[in-house]
Amino acid sequence: MKNAAIKLSLFFNYFVFAILLNCVGIVMLQMQLNFGVSKSDASILEGFKDLPIAIAAFIFASFLPKIGLKKSMLIALALVTIVCSIMPFADAFWYFKLLFFVIGVSFALIKVSVFSTIGLLTNNEKEHSSFMNFLEAIFMSGVMLGGFVFSYFVNDADPKSKEWLQIYLIIAGLSFLAFLLLLFSKLDEKEAKIENTSLEKDFKEMIVMIAKPLIIVFILSIFFYVMIEQSFSTWMPTFYKEILRAPTSLAIQAGSILAGATFLGRLLSGFVLLRVKWIHFLSFCLLAIAAIVLLVMPLAKNIIIENNATMTWLNAPFVLYLLPIMGLFLAPIYPTLNSTILSSLPKHMHSSMSGLIVVFSALGGTTGSIITGHVFESFNGTTAFYFSLIPVSLIFILLWILNSLIYKNHSNSNVVV
């Protein structure tokens, strides 16, 4: 198959970073158990991951083709390999701040480079879309597998044990293999070279776009969505451990099941959206998310566990199965919103719009994690998850405003209003 080596390399890159990016909730739980870090302090790890992604992606977007896409990915993999190699020796919280900072910057390099490389490896929109879907599937498989592997290294009998840090040696090994695979893969980057762009030009275009009502509503929708998604995915292990009284390993696995449900939800939504208008489908998804929260939280308050040491998925209370189902309904919202806004804009604006998506997604993720962490610590986990009903309600309203603005935009010959 043409370009098989470089395509396999991109898949491998995404798989490694799926594990790294989505272990933050697991690490936050272990920080509380191993180092006595408070929930509010642990929540800032999300910021150490997301803010570097936003800043680095914006800065690097214009210049990576000039630096070299392959070279940029090699730098990212090298950085991750080095930092993961030292993590088994971590004995303080700052190690983990450094870890997620490096992960954030490296992922920005990887994401911008991978997205630019896809265009070099595909010949038409159908191939591009197909390859992108495969990448998303690989990413979600990394999220799912990562949670189960982390849970295997966790010692339920000794919460203070740091055996789980050894998993970073495995991740370092995977990253190094990805580095070698990419190093010996051929990539023709001539078509990606950009000579007439600058950071100043891209920045001005993004600022102008932000002032448009359509873009403002979209940005707010994305911001609140990622706030919800990251709140649940990041704090679910802690919620299962403290509120549902589950063993640590099972609490971590719950996050993987949520990822699995998200993967399934994205597959199914592709078929549903062929037959159902996006605004109606996403409205249904938001109502389903609210219903699950309103059902699970009262059950969580009344749960009684006599001996969680013997708890497994085979004998766990019914309520433990309900929360991950939310992934089915969270899954379609983000990609559908992105596709909808990009389809409504002229193609020359897609690059700037993509930059805004990355920036405000990262900001939303950080904000959601920090707010949930503070509410979790000040009140309790059920109150923290009840809080998600506020952004769910706001997104519901924003979606209908967005739908109206897009219709108005189309009626005015694609002039953004």
Which is more confident, 385 or 415?
Answer: 385
Q: Is the separation of the CB atoms in 182 and 74 below 8 Å?
A: yes
**338/361 Cα distance (integer angstroms):** 11
pLDDT at residue 168 in the model: 93
> Helix, strand or coil for residue 21?
helix
- How many residues can be counted in the chain? 417
Question: Binning pLDDT at 50, 70 and 90, where does residue 417 land?
Answer: very low
> Helix, strand or coil for residue 243?
coil
DSSP string, 77-136: HHHHHHHHHHGGG--SHHHHHHHHHHHHHHHHHHHHHHHHHHHHH-SSHHHHHHHHHHHH
What are 376-397's pLDDT values in tens digits? Answer: 888 888 888 898 899 999 999 9
Angle between helix 4-21 and helix 93-121 axes, rounded to 10 deg = 150
Q: Is the dihedral of CA 398, 399, 404, 406 positive or negative?
A: positive
Identity of residue 61: A
* Most confident region among 134-143, 198-207, 285-294 by mean pLDDT: 285-294
Q: Is 140 left (phi over 0), alpha (psi -120 to 50) or beta?
A: alpha
Tell me the average pLDDT of the chain. 82
Mean pLDDT on 328-351: 73
Burial 264-279 (b: 16+ CB within 10 A, else e): ebbeebeeebeeeebb
Give the HSE-up count for residue 234: Cα atoms under 13 Å, Cβ half-sphere. Answer: 32
Q: φ and ψ at 134, to 5 degrees?
A: -65, -40
* Residue 322 confidence (pLDDT) above 90: no
31: tokens are 């920080």
Helix, strand, coil shares of the chain, percent, nearest 5, are 80, 0, 20
**170/192 Cα distance (integer angstroms):** 34
**Could you tell me how far CA 103 lies from the centroid of its own chain?**
13
What are 45-60's pLDDT values in tens digits? Answer: 878 888 888 888 777 7
Angle between helix 199-210 and helix 213-242 axes, rounded to 10 deg = 90
What are 60-106's pLDDT values in tens digits? Answer: 766 666 778 889 899 999 999 999 999 999 888 899 999 999 999 99
What are 191-208's pLDDT values in tens digits? Answer: 656 556 565 666 676 677
DSSP state of 309: G
DSSP string, 147-201: HHHHHHH--TT-TT--GGGGHHHHHHHHHHHHHHHHHTS----GGG---S--HHH
pLDDT at residue 196 in the model: 60
